[in-house]
Amino acid sequence: MTHTQTILVNCRRPFTLRPSQMMVYLMMIITALLPATSNAFLNNPLKRVEKDLLALTRRVTAHHILLPPNSDDAAVALKRKIRDQCAEQNRFIVDVFQDAAKRYSK
């Protein structure tokens, strides 16, 4: 008996499935019917690329100026000083803050 004849013989029998086979077929059908979703296409992919580009081109500073918890007046004075230096020297606030962090965090 050849392979084709075996298939024809098997086709004449009633189609029966074991419970494990039923579960496999059921999962295959459910998977095929569900819409394909991936994180890349849930949101606008061009918006994602734009956000990634902006994140790569922004300047990031890891400098911190630590002040005691009860020094609100000192924090306000430091903020004014940094803002005034930005206006006077025509520099970015990131650069002025970086210099202040180096100066005050010794």
- pLDDT digit string, tens, across residues 33-56: 766 555 555 667 777 777 777 777
Task: Give the domain ranges of the chain.
Answer: 3-54, 60-104
**pTM greater than the 0.85 cutoff:** no
Predicted pLDDT of residue 93: 84
Predicted pLDDT of residue 11: 54
Arithmetic mean of pLDDT, 70-99: 86
**pLDDT band, residue 29 (cuts 50/70/90):** confident
Q: Does the pLDDT of residue 77 top 80, yes or no?
A: yes
Predicted pLDDT of residue 14: 58
Task: Dump the DSSP string for 23-79.
Answer: HHHHHHHHHHHSPP--HHHHS-HHHHHHHHHHHHHS----------TT-HHHHHHHH
Q: Does the pLDDT of residue 84 top 80, yes or no?
A: yes
